[in-house]
């Protein structure tokens, strides 16, 4: 399997985040992507290739134009106020206390285009986001050209990014952009299968009213876990998308057996939907020692997940999402891929 990787992710570094009432170094670190890349090499998964360059026309079909225009301007506007450090929002429009009118001030704009304070900007953020987008689209293009499976080693991740909201370390929804690209390249139906620990709220929102892109999500139950406000089992899609969204929430403490049972349910729903291609939002924050998560998957469990996905027999693009136990992240993520290939 070919891996698409860009070193430009590394400019998105030194960010901080709010955690349990304190400002701490962000869990989403450059080392994550480097360790995964090194593991790809170590196990000989296949060639590691640079992305091609894409314009934002496909991204503009899943994201709001004003949002996409804001992302590259966020850091320059912040810096123009004489600020350094990490740009993050502190005020958000909530139902009843908002109008649909973008402010002009950087602090207002950061909140207007975010659902939490977790997608923070430094000087190199936009370039990294742009490269991550290209990494995803290059994988999608290779799939459209006939590859059976490709690994888009995206960083920053994307599945929390909605049509006009950043959050949860995510800016552009790489998996959604890839799925949209595949839709435009001959596949009538495409599925996004999200196995990150957290609900892919952005991906769900983007495709919620669409019947051509199915979204299947396995995640920690939002009753207890971030991102809290979406991800329940009764969210099934709306309008033309009715029935094309499937949430499989799981309790804290979930280990591999219930996880595989939920995965089997998700895979059966995908087979019923009959997509021409599959995009997997691959998060490995389901790992037992993940510092911000509460599932119990272990390193030897990951190849079985890949093998189960492979049994669908679909052209498959893996798009990297979360996973914050940094040292084991390579073995866990690449374990899914080697399991897929066996
Ligand atoms: C892509 C992705 O996996 N994003 C995850 C973003 C999670 N951000 C908020 C996590 C809050 C976790 N708080 C747990 C406290 C443990 N010390
Ligand atoms: Zn996650």
ipTM of the complex: 0.96
Ligand index nearest the alpha carbon of residue 224: 1
Instruction: State mean pLDDT over 22-34.
Output: 98
Ligand 1 neighbourhood includes 328 CB (under 6 angstroms): no
User: Residue 125: which pLDDT band, with cuts at 50, 70 and 90?
Assistant: very high
Distance CA 76, CA 181 (A): 30
User: Residue 102: which pLDDT band, with cuts at 50, 70 and 90?
Assistant: very high
pLDDT at 85: 95
Instruction: State mean pLDDT over 113-137.
Output: 98
Distance CA 20, CA 22 (A): 6
Ligand 1 neighbourhood includes 18 CB (under 6 angstroms): no
Residues 6+ apart with CB under 8 A from 282: 195, 196, 318, 319, 320, 321, 333, 336
Kindly report, residue by residue over 236-247, the tens digit of the pLDDT: 999 999 999 999
Kindly report, residue by residue over 225-274, the tens digit of the pLDDT: 999 999 999 999 999 999 999 999 999 999 999 999 999 999 999 999 99
Ligand 1 neighbourhood includes 169 CB (under 6 angstroms): yes
pLDDT at 165: 98
Average model confidence (pLDDT) for the chain? 98
Residues of the chain with pLDDT > 90: what percent?
Answer: 100
> Atom of ligand 1 at shortest distance to CA of 321?
1
Ligand 1 neighbourhood includes 168 CB (under 6 angstroms): yes
Distance CA 37, CA 196 (A): 19
> Ligand 1 atom 2: the closest Cα is on which residue?
322
Residues 6+ apart with CB under 8 A from 336: 282, 284, 302, 303, 305, 306, 309, 318
Distance CA 87, CA 102 (A): 18
> Ligand 1 atom 13: the closest Cα is on which residue?
292
pLDDT at 110: 98
Instruction: State mean pLDDT over 202-212.
Output: 99
> Ligand 1 atom 8: the closest Cα is on which residue?
168
pLDDT at 251: 98
Ligand 1 neighbourhood includes 283 CB (under 6 angstroms): yes
Find the catalytic residue in 9, 63, 133, 160.
160
pLDDT at 144: 97
Distance CA 318, CA 186 (A): 19
Instruction: State mean pLDDT over 144-169.
Output: 98
pLDDT at 166: 98
Distance CA 152, CA 178 (A): 10
User: Residue 42: which pLDDT band, with cuts at 50, 70 and 90?
Assistant: very high
Centre of ligand 1 from the C-alpha of residue 168, in Å: 7
pLDDT at 21: 96
| Ligand 1 binding pocket mutation candidate from 159, 217, 292 (most atoms within 8 A of CB) | 292
Instruction: State mean pLDDT over 292-308.
Output: 98
> Atom of ligand 1 at shortest distance to CA of 158?
1
Instruction: State mean pLDDT over 319-332.
Output: 98
Residues of the chain with pLDDT > 70: what percent?
Answer: 100
Domains and CATH numbers, the chain: 2-54+124-341 (3.40.800.20)
pLDDT at 305: 99
Ligand 1 neighbourhood includes 200 CB (under 6 angstroms): no
pLDDT at 164: 98
Centre of ligand 2 from the C-alpha of residue 102, in Å: 29
Centre of ligand 1 from the C-alpha of residue 292, in Å: 5
Ligand 1 neighbourhood includes 32 CB (under 6 angstroms): no
Distance CA 176, CA 62 (A): 7
């Amino acid at each position: 399997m070919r891996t698409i990787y860009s070193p430009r992710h590394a400019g998105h570094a030194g960010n901080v985040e709010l955690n349990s009432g304190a400002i701490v170094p962000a869990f989403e670190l450059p080392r994550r992507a480097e360790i995964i890349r090194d593991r790809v090499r170590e196990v000989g998964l296949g060639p590691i290739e640079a992305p091609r360059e894409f314009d934002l026309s496909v991204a503009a079909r899943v994201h709001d134009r004003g949002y996409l225009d804001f992302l590259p301007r966020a850091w320059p506007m912040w810096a123009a106020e004489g600020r350094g450090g990490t740009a993050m929002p502190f005020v958000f429009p909530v139902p009843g206390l908002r109008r649909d009118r973008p402010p002009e001030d950087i602090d207002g704009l950061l909140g207007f285009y975010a659902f939490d304070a977790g997608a923070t900007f430094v000087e190199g953020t936009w370039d990294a986001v742009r490269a991550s987008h290209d990494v995803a689209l290059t994988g999608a293009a290779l799939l459209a050209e006939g590859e059976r499976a490709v690994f888009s080693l995206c960083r920053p991740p994307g599945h929390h990014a909605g049509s006009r909201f950043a959050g949860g370390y995510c800016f552009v929804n790489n998996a959604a952009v890839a799925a949209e690209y595949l839709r435009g390249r001959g596949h009538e139906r495409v599925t996004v299968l999200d196995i990150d620990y957290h609900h892919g709220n952005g991906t769900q929102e983007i495709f919620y009213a669409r019947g051509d892109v199915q979204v299947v999500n396995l995640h920690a139950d939002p009753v207890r876990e971030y991102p809290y406000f979406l991800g329940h089992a009764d969210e099934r899609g709306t309008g033309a998308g009715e029935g094309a969204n499937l949430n499989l929430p799981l309790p804290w403490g979930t280990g591999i057996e219930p996880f595989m049972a939920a995965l089997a349910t998700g895979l059966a729903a995908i087979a019923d939907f009959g997509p021409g291609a599959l995009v997997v939002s691959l998060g490995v924050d389901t790992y037992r020692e993940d510092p911000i998560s509460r599932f119990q998957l272990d390193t030897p469990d990951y190849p079985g997940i890949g093998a189960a996905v492979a049994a669908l027999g679909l052209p498959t693009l893996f798009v990297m999402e979360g996973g914050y136990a940094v040292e084991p992240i390579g073995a866990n993520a690449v374990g899914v891929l080697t399991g897929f290939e066996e």
